[in-house]
A and B are shown apart, each in its own frame.
Chain A
Amino acid sequence: MTKDIRIPALARVEGEGALYIRTKDGVVDDIELKIYEPPRFFEGFLLGRYYQEVPDITARICGICPVAYQMSGAQALERAYGVSISPEVRALRRLLYCAEYIESHSLHIYMLQAPDLLGQESVLGIAEIAPEAVKKALRLKKIGNELLRAIGGRSVHPVNTKVGGFYRWPDVENIKGLLDDMKWALQASIETVQFGATLDYPDFEMDYEFVAITRPDEYAIYDGDVLSSTGRRVSVEEFETAYLESHVPQSTALHSHTVDGNPYFVGPLARLNLNFDQLRPVAKKAAQDIGLELPLKNPYKSLIARAIELVEVCDVAIDLIEAYDPQGPAYAEVELAEGEGWGISEAPRGMLYHRYRVGADGLIRFAKITPPTAQNYPRMEADLWELAPQVISRPHAEASLACEHLIRSYDPCISCSTHFLKLEIRRD
């Protein structure tokens, strides 16, 4: 008897993908996580562009996390040209990143993943059974977007980031005007953690290798060294010696894996497990109040990690807004010379790495971008090989949902996975 699960179009993910699981005599014998997002060749057409265009162009890789592309890209080019940014610029970039986390995490928690846990097809279904929760989610998301707008001009593809800093300091009044909203957002985030704790998650745990950036002094989002749960710690410059991409024949994507050949897990779950100690007290308390035990090894519970991170970034944002008092130039001047630079930051869905070589004429000579979803891709496939046999005997709709929900819990941004390929493979 053959029983297949075919999900021709994954819903509530960013970008386009499909999942196909084939069984023979009750045994799973093929799994295909298919990406039919067309390739757009960003690294190709960055060649020959002027370095200062990179933050604007790479933002367009992903409409959900453009700030992450601007932050990793700007840092890489600042390293390449030996530019140091001021502490004020770093603080404002962190605040910009907080805004993107609030927007992206509240979107994912309430609109993309929660429907799975509440037996709904979309947030509209939740609006019928729990309208207050949806209103809270929309306000939270809006606050993130308003902060993005206050700093960057608009929430999708903000225009204020440049290599060296910002084009202009945002108006102090506009930033300070969001303080009360941000205090509300902090409370709403704490309630989101509690909401996350009430949900009934599928029982599924794996021994993952988690990888995230880390810093001793703060919960790392903007910059840091690359830490693995195996204890391997490398600097940004060494990233490509420890984490490789290879284009495996008979595969649908470039596979990221560690130098030891293991798939690894990036994103909120990895960050929380590796950097819990650096969380601010209010975020730690939110986690302790729900009795959270680490390490958290259930990917579906990434929702809880996202909620705790919401608390963290709202609390950070409050401090940064209160302290916002821009002095001096909004950007450092860039002196052009040949160079190479690396940048890595934590997009809401995981580590994002950029490397560029630049010329003394300011033009890009080489570009490499490793988005988070490309890194998680082999991990998602490995999870599916583990999960599918457990659920395949269940009713078809339930089994499909379990698999689709697993993918969604990674918050894959398929648009941003510039390395995914479309390839049909049949191993008959």
Chain B
Amino acid sequence: MSKPTLAVHKFSSCDGCQLSILNLEDELLELVGAVEVAYFLEATSQIQPGPYDIAMVEGSVTTPHEAERIHKIRAESKILIAIGTCATAGGIQSLRNFTQADELADFTYDHPEYLDYLPTSTAISEHVPVDLEIWGCPLNKYQLLEAVVALLQGRRPNLPTHSVCLDCKRQGVVCVMVAEGIPCAGPATRTGCGALCPSNGRGCYGCFGPAPSADLDTLVPRLQALERYPGETVHLLRNFAGYAPKFRQAVDSILEEGAK
């Protein structure tokens, strides 16, 4: 049986999630022994035409060209995996969705008329069906490896969905919110980082996006009570995964409340 082909595609992003594949130093040579790397521009100039068995897509859709290209990629991919918070929620560049992208362009460029962009930055799943989403900014490279191994073994990937909060408890990290009064998005944020920020003495900033079980109605008032500057809760939830529905709706509610 021939090896399954793997393609890695880039959309609007920082390249950090693709780099996480190359950062699998101990596993990389075995990984490329188990699959055939058919398209991975950051790593190889060899390009094999599709269709591909496994396609990983990094980045969000921010230009008319990308909105077309994702359909072509979907059509030539058996399994499509959205990798990283750009691909699963629109990423940091989705901050444009809450303002006028034209104003951002005016500020950043002298001649914004040369630019070709969409007013929003959106997740891959808003454009085509996605078979698996791996969250994180950047993603956890071992979750990516687990997904590939599971596909090769013909089983469902084991990707936990509990919140960062539980990881702190398991690791014995003292709660930064309770002990130090630091606002932390950990109770509502999907696991995957290993509770990095709280174990570094700071609050989680939600870069793995909302956990499926996130209860923001309970968390938001608690965060607001601990704000160190006005609007901190809005900033905390409206950043790397700010366009993910749960975070977006929580901020919308805060802003509606404030406008009353």
Contacts and interface: CB of A to CB of B under 8 A. Distances in A.
- Chains A and B form a bound pair: yes
Interface of A: 9-16, 36-45, 47, 49-50, 53, 56-57, 60-64, 66, 107, 111, 115, 121-124, 127, 134, 138-139, 141-142, 145, 153-157, 159-160, 162, 167-168, 246-247, 249, 254, 361-362, 404, 413, 415-416, 418-419, 421-423
Given A16-B41, A167-B200, 18 more contacts: A10-B41, A12-B42, A12-B43, A43-B107, A43-B108, A50-B229, A53-B235, A53-B239, A57-B92, A64-B16, A107-B22, A111-B22, A121-B45, A122-B43, A159-B197, A162-B202, A247-B111, A362-B229
Contacts of A415: 13-15
A50 B15 contact: no
B80 interface: no
B232 interface: yes
A41 B96 contact: yes
Interface stretch (B112-120, B122-130, B161-169, B210-218): B112-120
Interface in B192-226: 193, 196-197, 199-202, 205, 207
A74 to B, nearest CB: 15
22 contacts: A37-B12, A38-B63, A38-B117, A39-B117, A40-B62, A41-B108, A45-B95, A57-B239, A66-B14, A115-B45, A124-B32, A134-B29, A145-B25, A153-B196, A155-B23, A159-B197, A159-B200, A167-B200, A168-B201, A361-B229, A404-B45, A418-B108
B115 A39 contact: yes
Interface residues of B, number: 67
Contacts of B76: none
B103 interface: yes
Q: Most A CB atoms within 10 A — which of B44, B108, B197?
A: B108
A41 B104 contact: yes
Nearest to B196: A153
B249 interface: no
B66 interface: yes
B19 A63 contact: yes
Given A57-B239, A153-B199, A153-B200, A63 B44 contact: no
B223 to A, nearest CB: 14
B7 interface: no
B110 A247 contact: yes
B253 interface: no
B104 A45 contact: yes
Contact of B65 (A12, A36, A61, A145): A36
A385 B106 CA distance: 32
Interface centre among A37, A44, A418, by most chain B C-beta atoms within 10 angstroms, is A44
Interface string B70-96: 000000000000000000000111011
Nearest to A56: B205
A1 B109 CA distance: 39
Nearest to B46: A121
B138 interface: yes
B200 A111 contact: no
Contacts of B115: 39, 421-422
A157 B105 contact: no
A117 to B, nearest CB: 13
A361 B229 CA distance: 8
B138 A156 contact: yes
Contacts of B19: 14, 63-64, 107, 156
A41 B101 contact: yes
B16 A11 contact: no
B66 A60 contact: no
B64 to A, nearest CB: 10
B185 interface: no
Give the 3 A-B residue pairs with the shortest CB-CB distance, closest first.
A63-B16, A44-B104, A122-B44
Contacts of A421: 109, 111, 114-115
Contacts of A141: 23, 25
Contacts of A123: 43-44
Contacts of B91: 60
Q: B17, B104, B193, B240: which has the most chain A beta carbons within 10 Å?
A: B104
A345 to B, nearest CB: 18
Contacts of A47: 107
Nearest to B17: A63
